Amino acid sequence: MEKQRIRYIFSGDVQEVGFRSAAFQTARQLGIAGWVKNVFDGTVEMEAQGTAAELDALLSELKRTMYLSDENIKSEEIPLTDENEFHIR
């Protein structure tokens, strides 16, 4: 399956609630590459690279465990990189 890379911006109550840890653990379990970090404006930014099915599973799990709704998530497809692991910045 073809891989893609998506940049996500999560807003709402996403800092200080274990969001980065949850994203890290789920991405690692799914074999997704990329990173996640807190941003000074209170949002969390994440770049995730994997198949469409893997990225859908990551987003579904974060929505479920972090109680996110679609209006709290912005996303855009960006160019692939040669990253092989997921990490917290």
Catalytic site residue from 5, 7, 28, 38? 38
DSSP 5-28: EEEEEE-SS-SSSSHHHHHHHHHH
Residue 72 is a catalytic residue: no
Residue 84 is a catalytic residue: no
Catalytic site residue from 20, 64, 72, 89? 20
Beta pairing class for 86-88 and 44-51 = unpaired
Please list the active-site residues: 20, 38
